[in-house]
Amino acid sequence: MPAFLIKVFKGLAIHFATKYAAELVVKASIEALEKAAAKTTTLVDDELVAKVKADQAEIIKIIGGKV
């Protein structure tokens, strides 16, 4: 019985990892871009971060393979 439960938990972990991985990667990338943009004096990187944030949902769909 414990071997069966381990397989069930592994299957659930893989399912949720593939379902939410794209969203986590995009959010972490946006956070890193925001931190990097805050360290510069130019506005180009701030505009890039704003565009990426605006298209966040579409980027998640593309990475997640839902398009």
Tell me the per-residue pLDDT of 2-21, one tens digit each, with 9 for 90 and over. 888 999 999 999 888 878 88
**Residue 42 falls in which region: left (phi positive, over 0), alpha (psi -120 to 50) or beta:** beta
Instruction: Report yes or no on 15 lying in a domain.
Output: no
Instruction: Report yes or no on 10 lying in a domain.
Output: no
The token duo for 24 is: 């986590």
Model pTM greater than 0.85? no
Question: Residue 67: is its pLDDT beyond 80?
Answer: no
Per residue in 21-33, pLDDT (tens digit) is: 889 999 999 999 9
Radius of gyration of the CA atoms of the chain, in A: 17
Instruction: Report yes or no on 65 lying in a domain.
Output: yes
The residue segments making up the domain with residue 64 are: 20-67
Instruction: Report yes or no on 12 lying in a domain.
Output: no
The residue-averaged pLDDT of 33-38 equals 93
The token duo for 58 is: 């579409």
Residues written for the chain: 67
pLDDT of residue 66: 74
